[in-house]
Every structure is written in structure tokens, then in C-alpha cells.
Chain A
């Protein structure tokens, strides 16, 4: 049976979304993406270095015809900045999608949800497909959905922390109430974390550091690909109920 992720009419080949930061070079980035099987790759918007320009461009390695480029507003701490980066990103001509971040605190990189909500509302009205990075807060997830978010992206743990899904129960509550897809963004540290997110019923997982900071990023990308598929399959299969005591799985009948 087909189990495709479709958001705002866009069909996604994979439920693993990959960030392109922190890799050794563009070649490694490209190999990681290939190994991960992802079709969504996030990128950041930054100034071109006009005095010392390198001829190489990330998009020489990640073909926008083959992958869905998801620009982010990483590094933005105000609504104004987030809007500015979003509009520039769209004008770059690869996508109307934006991974919206309005960061509220340097140390934790937790989102400023008040700013996030405002920016989501404005950008959704401007026709953006908005993917807001938010807390694992079910009430805020609902508010973002009402403001026009195409999906909500609650964190599993702080960005780059690798602490895993710290509050699976909140993610579950978000999932229960959400009418839009739920994509865990940030916090995944290893394959089991990605599987946990998918087993909870999340529609996709976005990660960067878990792969980039692994000893062998390409092998980890491959592991993540399998973890996301396994987690999704397990979710669809429906896990057995947990029980406190043992139940033998071999028959008593016929014993000597």
C-alpha cells in the first residue's frame, strides 16, 4: 500500500529530511543526502562573499530539480528578520517553502513562539508554504496550524543537542490534535531517536547534526534512512500493548 507524505499538494519521496550544515565539503554533503534517501534538504540564506568569492556553489552539488530545497531562516531572532530572509529565499527561485525559525534564546536556541506565530501568519498570507520550528507545545502547535502553517515542526530536544525525543507524550498530544503534518525537527542523536519519532506517528523527521557530527556521516545517513522507514512501518503496523508481566509465546500443551 502506498504511504506517501503529501503536504499542500507536494508529494515527498522520503520522510527523512536532511540539513546541509556542518559537513566537511559539498561533496560529502551530496554523498550524505544520497545515502539518506532524502528528497528535502534544508539550506540557509547568507551573504555572498564579494571580496573572496569561491566559484563553488552548494546548488552545484544538490540539484534543485532532483531535490526539494527548503530554505530556512536560521539565525533570525526577530519577526522582521525572519520575514526578510523568507522573502529573499523565495526570490532565489527554488521554492515557496520556508522552514521558519524565530529564535528566542542563544543558549538553548528555543523558538520565540510569539514571534513565530506572527511570522507564520504573515508568510502564509503571502502564499508561502510555512514550516515553523516550534516547541513541543501542543497549544502552540494548534495556534500555528490556525495561523496557516503547512505543517508543524516541534523540536525533540534543543538543536544540535542529540538528546533524542525528550517529551514523547507532548509529541503524541500534538499529533492527536493536529490536522496538518507533524515533523520532528531537532534533537535526534542517533537512529533509535528517529525511529521513536516515527513510531509516535510523526509524518517526517528533520535532522542535521546527528548525521554531520557522526564519525561516519554517510553511514549514519544510511542508518537514519532505515530508522525512519522502520519507525514508520512499525507505526503503521500498530505495536503490541505493553504489559508488566511475561506471557509465554510457546504453547504449554504438548510439554513432557
Chain B
């Protein structure tokens, strides 16, 4: 299936959010994930299905003060 991940087109053959993170070698505990503008709870990463055309955002904390 085709996904948009952090703004980039990506081919993905897995099924769930967790599988996508594993493919990207991202530690699930370190990130927050949004699928089609909906925040996914970490406990649901394992079961949340991804579908063709989904837009996924994976974010984490970086250094920042204001603005």
C-alpha cells in the first residue's frame, strides 16, 4: 500500500502502526503517532491498522524553547 509518512510517499507492506515503526527502526516508546489527523494511543500501535492512502505523522521531542 501507499502511505504518506511525515510528508513523504512510502510503500508499506505491513499492517499496523507498530509494524511501520519497526520497519523504520523507530522505538515506539519515544514517539507519538497520528494517522489521518487522529492521535493513536501507544497501547493501540500494535492493533491500529493502516490502509492505502493513509497519512501518518511520527513525531518526537527535540530541543526547543519558544516559537
Query: Which residues of A line the B interface, CB within 8 A?
Result: 19-23, 26, 29, 42-51, 53, 57-59, 69, 71-72, 74-75, 84, 87-89, 91-94, 99, 101, 103, 109, 133, 159-160, 185-186, 206-209, 212
Given A48-B26, A50-B5, A88-B39, also A23-B57 (CB < 8 A) = no
From 14 to 67 in chain B, residues with beta carbon under 8 angstroms from any chain A beta carbon are: 24-26, 29-34, 37, 39-42, 57-67
**B63 touches which one: A21, A87, A94, A109 (CB < 8 A)?**
A21
Q: B13: CB under 8 A from chain A?
A: no
Given A53-B25, A88-B59, A89-B32, also A47-B6 (CB < 8 A) = yes
Query: Which residues of B line the A interface, CB within 8 A?
Result: 5-8, 10, 24-26, 29-34, 37, 39-42, 57-67
User: Cβ of B63 and Cβ of A29 under 8 Å apart?
Assistant: yes
Given A50-B5, A50-B24, also A58-B62 (CB < 8 A) = yes
- Look across to chain A and name the residue whose beta carbon is closest to the beta carbon of B33: A91
User: Cβ of B6 and Cβ of A185 under 8 Å apart?
Assistant: no
CB distance from B67 to the nearest CB of A (A): 4
